[in-house]
Amino acid sequence: MARPVDADGDGRPDRPVDIDGDGRPDREPDPALTKKPRASLLATLGLIVSVVGALFVLSGTLAGYGIGLGAVGAVLAVLGLIATRRRHVAGKTDALIGVAVGIAAVVLGVVAMTGQFDWPTTDGEWVGRFREWLDSQFADRF
């Protein structure tokens, strides 16, 4: 059986093909022409960088770095959201969560740097204090 000719070069045959010989053209796409579904790397990377930025901001001491990471993560997530417009690219939810967490990290980081909240602030060693508190709570239990 002859393959259909692709005259315009768009990857699709110019006319439907009768593969099974019943006189009606078959509508199923050729498996060689379809793309496999995949997740967007930018959306996933944007989510990961945004979460790391948020964790840096929540530490208080690393709030400055968290602002930068949150902004970079939000930009990567927006680019990942643009990449998910293609039919075979998944990850729209990852990208939306990455944008939200990245923007939240930037806003909370700016609030922490200006000192408008009691916590997180950049003046204290919150991680060390939290470790000491955990040690005091669980010292007698283990």
- The pLDDT score that the predictor gives to residue 25 is 58
Q: What is the pLDDT of residue 29?
A: 58
**Which pLDDT score, from 0 to 100, does residue 128 have?**
76
Mean pLDDT by 10 residues, the chain (142 residues): 55 58 60 72 96 91 91 97 88 95 96 80 71 81 64
Q: What is residue 66's predicted lDDT score, i.e. its pLDDT?
A: 94
Written as six digits, the tokens of 32 are 């060689």
The answer, as to whether pTM is greater than 0.85, is no
The pLDDT of residue 23:
61
The whole-angstrom separation of Cα 18 and Cα 93 is: 40
Whole-angstrom Cα distance, residue 102 to residue 16?
Answer: 47
Q: How far apart are CA 25 and CA 23, in angstroms?
A: 7
- Distance CA(68)–CA(48), nearest Å, equals 14
Q: Write down the pLDDT at residue 38.
A: 85
